[in-house]
Amino acid sequence: MDNRLGMVFVVCAPSGAGKSTLIGKLRAEFPGMEFSVSHTTRAPRAGEVNGREYEFVSRGQFAARRDAGDYAEWAEVHGNFYGTPRAAVLDTLSRGLDVIFDVDVQGAAALRRAFDPAAFVFILPPSLEVLTARLAGRGTDDAQAVHKRLKNAEAEIARAGEFDYLVVNDVLSRAYEDLRAVYLAERLRPARNPGLAEAILASFSRPAR
């Protein structure tokens, strides 16, 4: 009786809010969930593997695919391009699997137009001070880059009201429980379970054994 449709689950946050950690925990608990591997023109960070976190492409390759309409959404963030391959997402959904997205606010807005229904979650840092400490503590950016990310974070948080759910990542375990609860609740929506109630109702008309 499991006719559940695959779901688009979009998680967005300013840089340093802990989005990647939370997504990793959700995927570990629900291994049937597929991660949408975006294309990006930025260079890989330490530990990143091509085709796992991102597919790393040249600016020329990205432009060609963008112009061909291959991306469900694309955006320029911090001077680099990011895009979501449309065909791969549709194929995963057609197999009844959920797809989780790690995108910025521009990408989330484009995904809302491209995929319906979908669920949108915004991860918030508890404060500017905490976000600053997290960004500086990563050791991957110089002071100028941290300042740029904080300015971008301010603009992104101002758009948090566009999302369906808000999760504050102050205590990681609590933030994860909130994100997990959102995911499980979204899986139970009638639109994601077509024919379920009708199939059960039909059993009422069959003779009892």
Residue 160 lies in a domain: yes
In a domain, 92, yes or no: no
Strand partners of residue 55: 39
Cα–Cα dist 136/151, whole Å: 14
Would residue 177 count as lying in a domain? yes
Give the pLDDT confidence of 136-173 residue by residue, as tens digits: 888 777 888 888 989 999 999 999 999 999 999 999 99
Burial class of residue 5 in the structure, from the number of CB atoms within 10 Å of its CB (0-12 exposed, 13-18 middle, 19+ buried): middle
CATH label of the domain that carries residue 140: 3.40.50.300
pLDDT-based confidence at residue 2 (cuts at 50, 70, 90): low
The pLDDT value recorded for residue 9 is 97
3 state DSSP class of 192: helix
pLDDT one-digit tens code per residue, 95-147: 889 999 988 898 899 899 999 889 999 999 999 999 999 898 887 778 888 88
Q: Measure the CA angle with vertex 126, ends 125 and 131; round to 5°.
A: 50
> What domain count does the chain have?
1
In a domain, 3, yes or no: no
Q: Which domain holds residue 161?
A: 8-36+97-203
This prediction has a pTM of 0.83
